Amino acid sequence: MPRNISTPSIEYIRSLYAHQDDLLVSISEELEKRNMAIHVGAEEGRLLQFLIALHGAKNIVEIGTLAGYSTIWMVRALPEDGHIYTINKDPAHVKMAEGFFAQCERRGHITQLAGDAHDVLPALSDKAPFDMIFIDADKISYSDYLDWAEQNIRKGGLIIADNTLLGGLAMETSPPENYAPTTWKNMRLFNERLADKSKYNATMIPTKEGLSVAIKLF
């Protein structure tokens, strides 16, 4: 489902705060053309930047690069000594993102890691602890990625995850038809884990897809 939904309110927010330069526009257009426009909206890219600034995050892991749209928003909020590692499974997506990163003025602060996050994350532990993780990949695996984040994001670090409303079906209390039962079960588990107040100071920003934000307290 396309994420760059446009309403008068969202257009107003974008016009004030979330201007897209030529590079961001060209990524968006390319994804539209390929019928793959599932990237975050510009206003969400801006929100990620705001959270990075608020938190002073320097070292970020992103799971799910697609064409690098969210990565480019985030890298532009990082300080000079900041870096983002972004993990991308699909080889065609990796290639597309590579082309766009080459055009980004902050490309020296981006490392794209090709492969399934389950295989790539263990080696990234060498560079831990990280300040922030943005999870936006296969919905069935969010709880696995939280296992890694619990070990590799610093105390006080940020855990952010997109699509945690699971297309408006996360609140169903029995498996919905549109998703594999395991995907639904695992996303609910992820949300319940973040809602544990002894471990996280967290909430979900009620975007259409749901954007979970959590401070790791341990």
Please pick, from the candidates 61, 152, 209, 211, the single residue that binds ligand DHB as defined by CB under 6 A.
Answer: 209
Q: Which of 6/201 has CB closer to ligand SAH? A: 6
Please pick, from the candidates 162, 164, 166, 200, the single residue that binds Mg ion as defined by CB under 5 A.
Answer: 162
Please state whether the peptide bond connecting residue 129 to the residue before it is cis, i.e. omega within 30 degrees of 0.
yes
In order of 66, 99, 200, the CA distances from 30 in angstroms are 11, 12, 37
| 48 close to 40: Cβ distance less than 8 angstroms | yes
The tokens for 18 are 């979330």
As a whole number of angstroms, the distance between CA 205 and CA 194 comes to 13
| 160 close to 133: Cβ distance less than 8 angstroms | yes
Does position 136 interact with ligand DHB (CB under 6 A)? The reply is yes
Does position 163 interact with Mg ion (CB under 5 A)? The reply is yes
Q: Applying CB under 6 A, which residues contact ligand SAH?
A: 38-40, 63-66, 69-70, 87-90, 93, 116-117, 136-138, 141
144 interface partner picked from ligand DHB, ligand SAH, Mg ion, none, CB below 5 to 8 A per type: none
> Which long-range CB contacts under 8 A does 29-37 form with residues at least 24 apart?
30/67, 30/96, 31/66, 31/67, 31/69, 32/2, 36/66, 36/67, 37/2, 37/3, 37/4
1 interface partner picked from Mg ion, ligand SAH, ligand DHB, none, CB below 5 to 8 A per type: ligand DHB
As a whole number of angstroms, the distance between CA 46 and CA 167 comes to 22
Does position 23 interact with ligand DHB (CB under 6 A)? The reply is no
Does position 43 interact with Mg ion (CB under 5 A)? The reply is no
Does position 163 interact with ligand DHB (CB under 6 A)? The reply is yes
Interacting positions 112-151 with Mg ion (CB under 5 A): 136
Q: Which of 82/112 has CB closer to ligand DHB? A: 112
Q: Site residues (CB under 6 A) for ligand DHB? A: 1, 3, 38, 136, 162-163, 209
